[in-house]
Amino acid sequence: MKDLNDDEHLDVFQNIEVGLKKQYELNPDLTDTVCIFALDNAKVAVKKQFGYAKNERVTDHPLAKGIIDWCVWVGTERVGIVNNLTLQEYLNRIEKIRRSVIRHSEYGARSYYEFIKDFV
């Protein structure tokens, strides 16, 4: 993936993070750990939406569902439609956010939310 400043799909990060912020605000029990779990499942769900990962399972965990659904929705709105975003590029962005959640979770149970809430 390109340097973040040169990323032609930089707005995809913000699209995803808008949904994450909303889920953190709607669900006070949502922790970074659950968010990481949800993003892992979101990658599978997005692949399923595009006809892949047919044998993989997506969780029905209530705190993860909103994140998964949001990522699938963003993917269906963007992949192959806006700026030639590919499925793999979209999945790479979800993964990059997941790694950021992991990094921030070292500072508390909802530290990723604290990090994004004023920027998104």
pLDDT at position 4 is 52
Q: How confident is the model at residue 108 (pLDDT cuts 50, 70, 90)?
A: very high
Q: What is the pLDDT of residues 45-98, one digit of tens each?
A: 999 999 999 999 999 999 999 999 999 999 999 999 988 899 999 999 999 999
pLDDT at position 119 is 87
Query: d(Cα 53, Cα 89) in Å, to the nearest integer?
Result: 17
pTM score, whole prediction: 0.91
23-45 core/surface letters (b: 16 or more CB in 10 A; e: else): bbeebeebbbebbbbbbbbbbbb
